[in-house]
Structure 1
Amino acid sequence: MLLRAAVLAVHAGLLAALRPGDPNVCSYWESFTAPVKESYTKPHVVTSSKPCPDGLGLPLPCPQQRVVYRTEYRQAVRTDYRRRYQCCQGYYESRDSCVPHCSQECVHGRCVAPELCQCEPGWRGPSCSSECDEQSWGPDCGQRCLCHHGAPCDPLTGVCSCPPGFTDPLCRQPCPPGTYGQGCHLSCPCHHQAPCNASTGACLCPPGLSGPLCQVPCPEGMSCTTPCPCQNGGICHPSSTSTCVCPHGWMGEICSMPCPPGRFGPGCQGECRCHNGGHCDPHGGQCQCAPGFTGEQ
């Protein structure tokens, strides 16, 4: 059981090792000491006795000495070197690989090299924390908007957000005759086929006609002007000016813009609070529920 545990531990250690082929892994040499058993030759004096004749011819013991060399063993310490691996400077170990370190968090991006953030489209700066301005987009805000008439572009895609009165992908073309507003989706309300301002929807009355919608004939033989340009029931306040106070469901300089989805009330100042796909009435704000739902909201 102990042997199996030891084998598993060694196997886990191998799996956790850094890969030498990783370009972010650096190597160095480490010295270490290890006990070794070394051999050496040690001299020994050996004494032997041989008979030596004396003067009378009698044998007597005659000691003799000689040196012999024997191989013996002793413990020693040897210094050796081995190659070690570690993450290169600017990288740290994470899940058995070396990843770059950025001291500042890449808020809207990721760290791709030591102290280098790669920003998501629409963001820039050392930590990817600054949005693109209205005239730039893309990674690091490196692309310039191509929109005309001062229109901003989407910081992610570069798509232009055309101001009222202009259309096409780059906001170069004015609205086609008979249309006005954001995206040129609104039809001119003017009577007698009078044109309207492509941006505001204000009617451009021909001679002989006046009123917000060119619906009032001028007295015969006289020219006249429109004292109050407000459309859709808006009133000028103060009455001596052309400043419009819009009724419920309308907004804009002359009350020619219907409330966008999610807004209602006078000047579209109210915020709809309908849930589950319900839409609110632009005039009073009452919720119109989607199929399958009921209740005030």
Structure 2
Amino acid sequence: MGLSCCSSALLRMGLLLASLALFVSICEARLEASRGVAIPFVFDPKAICDPPCKHAGICIRNNTCFCSKGYEGEVCQYANCYPKCKNGGECLRPGKCRCPPGFGGKYCHKVVCDGGCWNGGDCIAVNGVVKCLCPSSWTGSRCQEALCPQGCRNGGSCVAPGICSCPDGWLGGACHTAVCKRPCLNGGKCVSPDVCRCRPPFSGPRCEERKKLF
């Protein structure tokens, strides 16, 4: 009876020592693993990381960092934004993107036109280039210029789609009609502000004079 008990105790002791030796060998192998190898979490309080882990990362074994949430990289040097920064944005810290010109929003997902788009224009990005998409009858970098298909003549300017603002002495949809404050007589035609073109045999500023025939 006593011999049997001793044999069982020795067997259990042998199994325990074998298990301990196996555990030690596994730990030593993990400590010697190269940086970046994916192995189960094992913390070695004597581990040294050179360079040191950044952003509150923990050195869990030699040259292997366990990064805090929102950071990644061999020494936790890179911030990780989720969702990822879009349109070429740079992740500065978790949840904070630095956006390139023309883009905004928390993740650089919004297109932003400097000065805005006027007159109903939409701010869009085409192949990374930000610009205003203008409605019909408007043009310019910010859709600020109206289009007059008929054209504005004689120094007139297009102030709204199809509408010309004419200088003094001109009228009409295209500023094409001259205005004579005193009307031309005897069939004369106003060809420019206060200038009449007379029909023969009339002359004078208002075509009021008849030429004498000899």
> Normalising by structure 1, what TM-score?
0.30
**Which one has the bigger strand percentage?**
1
> TM-score, normalized by length of structure 2?
0.38
For the pair shown, the structure with the greater C-alpha radius of gyration is 1
Q: Greater helix percent: which structure?
A: 2
